Amino acid sequence: MFMDWEPWFCYKPKTLPCSARINHEMGGYELKLLIGEEDRYFQSGVNIKKPILPNGPGYVTVEPSPRTGLRKFDLGNSKNTGPNLALDMDNKIKVEYYPHGKPIQILPISSQDLPFIANKQDDIEGGKSTVIAFTIWCHFNTFPVESYIRRLQNIRRSILRLLNRSPDTVIVIKTANVQALPRDVNFYNSDWYSYQLDLVLRKMFEGINVAFVDAWEMTIAHYLPHELHPERIIIKNEVDVFLSFVCPLKKG
């Protein structure tokens, strides 16, 4: 029996037993951590949030993708948390979205709607008509890298099992991207640490038949300001790159 889990804990509520809890909720962060002269070392535009300009041109060119009749099927869930479902009846395409399992900072959501990526992949038969895409990095930014490595190891093993039974399955991984970091956020998050997680991700999946959407390069080279959730034009470019792996142009 395969299980993908980390040692998470819950504190006993004052009114209900812990076993009665059905929703996952996001906690907060401790703020106002600066003491005395420390404030001078965290000044926006001086020693944090100061852009590093490239030495030369940097750009990404993508081919436009054809549009489809893809329509969201309302499951009554929040669009931000999901799970979400979209259908293209004419072309027999079904798209499902799930947020990954804990740790995750998210609006209240049923714990049953937070499957681990590895477990979800083990439930998928796979095949040439199946495409799996996932991204996992941001919600690990406030945890030691060891927990991230363990999670990726489990995902790697599940991918190998999936490709062993269905080698035609297409698997695409979106990398980390740069983000806006207000001063308070800098105390528990950073693009430097995101980049370390990104290096671990790329190394973990070396030698496996997976494709990458390089969101890091696409966001760091773009003229738009950095954002955790990039603007629509960047998302479109990411989707176009993703579709290039799903429906590659035929040669000749």
Domain regions of the chain by residue span: 28-246
- For the segment 60-104, what is each residue's pLDDT rounded down to a tens digit? 666 665 665 788 888 888 888 889 999 999 989 999 999 999 998
Residue 167: pLDDT above 50?
yes
- For the segment 132-150, what is each residue's pLDDT rounded down to a tens digit? 999 999 999 989 999 999 9
Q: pLDDT higher for 75 or 28?
A: 75
Decide: 211 and 173 in contact? Cβ < 8 Å. yes
- Average pLDDT estimate for 116-130: 95
Whole-model pTM? 0.74
Residues 6+ apart with CB under 8 A from 146: none
Q: What is the pLDDT of residue 122?
A: 96
Residues 6+ apart with CB under 8 A from 163: 126, 169, 171, 208, 209
Q: What is the 3-state secondary structure (H, E, C) of the chain?
A: CCCCCCCCCCCCCCCCCHHHCCEECCCCCCCCCCCHHHHHHCCECCCECCCCCCCCCCCCCCCCCCCCCCEEECCCCCCCCCCEEEEECCCCEEEEECCCCCCCCCCCEEHHHCCCHHHHHHCCCCCCCCEEEECCCHHHCCCCHHHHHHHHHHHHHHHHHHHHHCCCCEEEEECCCCCCCCCCHHHCCCHHHHHHHHHHHHHHCCCCCCEEECHHHHHHCCCCCCCCCCCHHHHHHHHHHHHHHHCCCCCC
Q: What is the pLDDT of residue 70?
A: 84
Residue 7: pLDDT above 60?
no
The fold of the 28-246 domain, in CATH, is Rossmann fold (3.40.50)
Q: pLDDT higher for 214 or 77?
A: 214
Q: What is the pLDDT of residue 36?
A: 83
pLDDT band of 115, cuts 50, 70, 90: very high
| Residue labelled with tokens 């800098």 | 186
Across the chain, mean pLDDT equals 85
Tokens of 224: 């738009």
Q: What is the pLDDT of residue 80?
A: 80
| Residue labelled with tokens 């947020």 | 99
CA–CA gap between residue 38 and residue 46 (Å, rounded): 14
pLDDT band of 34, cuts 50, 70, 90: confident
pLDDT band of 106, cuts 50, 70, 90: confident
Residue 160: pLDDT above 90?
yes
CA–CA gap between residue 132 and residue 49 (Å, rounded): 35
- Average pLDDT estimate for 175-182: 91
CB atoms within 10 A of CB 137: 23
Q: Given CA atoms 191, 194, 196, 202 in this order, what sign does their dihedral have?
A: negative
pLDDT band of 117, cuts 50, 70, 90: very high
Of the candidates 108, 114, 115, which has an alpha carbon nearest to the alpha carbon of residue 78? 108
Residues 6+ apart with CB under 8 A from 30: none
CA–CA gap between residue 233 and residue 235 (Å, rounded): 5
Among 32-36, 71-75, 212-216, where is mean pLDDT lowest?
A: 32-36
Q: What is the pLDDT of residue 245?
A: 94
Q: What is the pLDDT of residue 121?
A: 96
Residues 6+ apart with CB under 8 A from 107: 26, 78, 80, 81
Residue 1: pLDDT above 50?
no
Residue 55: pLDDT above 60?
yes
